[in-house]
Amino acid sequence: DADVTQTPRNRITKTGKRIMLECSQTKGHDRMYWYRQDPGLGLQLIYYSFDVKDINKGEISDGYSVSRQAQAKFSLSLESAIPNQTALYFCATSVRRGAFYEQFFGPGTRLTVL
Amino acid sequence: RKEVEQDPGPFNVPEGATVAFNCTYSNSASQSFFWYRQDCRKEPKLLMSVYSSGNEDGRFTAQLNRASQYISLLIRDSKLSDSATYLCVVSPSGYSTLTFGKGTMLLVSP
């Protein structure tokens, strides 16, 4: 399975600060994703990338940007953090399993914006 | 109508019980279906894919009803370790992004 790591694991910041969340994977998967999860809500897709030159907006991309520095690295930035961006953020990769892609998630980054 | 709807629960069951969860989806073009499991404050992990003919993995059985656009998960002989949130997930094709339901919480008690 993909080894997906996220840094930092926890972060507390203030409104207006720029924040970068980093994601790395060691299994050579081309596809990478960023999600956020709010209490009682499902995972919502922020951005995704199918290869190094491909970046796509998800359903809630406003206020976020991403960078795919290499196949193994996909970073999420909050240019000017606001309190409603407080959430649990997951990075994921995916690999083809026959007719579908299985996604593997990192351990998550808990972000609090004060 | 939300794309993927699930009863949030919690479902409280004793060990050994059989429990079933349902999920409905709104996009009739959905082609791939999954159940993911998420433990408290942890990352989701794939539990099983759901095939049109239904499929079983040990104590877990998944069914798909395309006509009614619902997916089910049956857990037999519940274990304490089955306590988690179960996420219903659909995809319009096998190669695109996933849409997650909010999850159904299961609590198995001794």
In this prediction, residue A101 carries a pLDDT of: 85
Give A16-46 pLDDT, tens digit per residue: 999 999 999 998 999 999 999 998 788 999 9
**Chain mean pLDDT for chain A:** 93
Q: What is the pLDDT of residues B55-69, one digit of tens each?
A: 999 999 999 999 999
Is the pLDDT at A1 greater than 60? The verdict is no
Would the pLDDT of A2 be above 60?
no
pLDDT of the residue at B94: 61
Nearest CA in chain A to B31: A100
How many A×B Cβ pairs under 8 Å? 45
Yes or no, beta carbons of A105 and B45 under 8 Å apart: yes
Length of chain A: 114
State the nearest Cα–Cα gap between B35 and chain A, in angstroms: 11
Contacts (Cβ under 8 Å, ≥6 apart) of A9: A107, A108, A109, A110
**What's the pLDDT at B97?**
87
Question: In whole angstroms, what is the distance from residue B5 CA to residue A54 CA?
Answer: 30
B43 touches chain A (CB under 8 A): yes
Among A107, A23, A103, smallest CA distance to A67 is for A23
Question: Per residue in B74-84, pLDDT tens?
Answer: 999 999 999 99
Residues of chain B with pLDDT below 70 are 1, 94-95
Tell how many helices (H) and how many strands (E) occur in chain B: 0, 11
Q: Does B91 touch chain A (CB under 8 A)?
A: yes
Q: In which band, very low, low, confident or very high, does the pLDDT at A99 lie, cut at 50, 70 and 90?
A: confident
Per the structure block, which two tokens stand in for B15?
């060990």
Mean pLDDT along residues A61-76: 96
* Contact B53/A at CB under 8 A: no
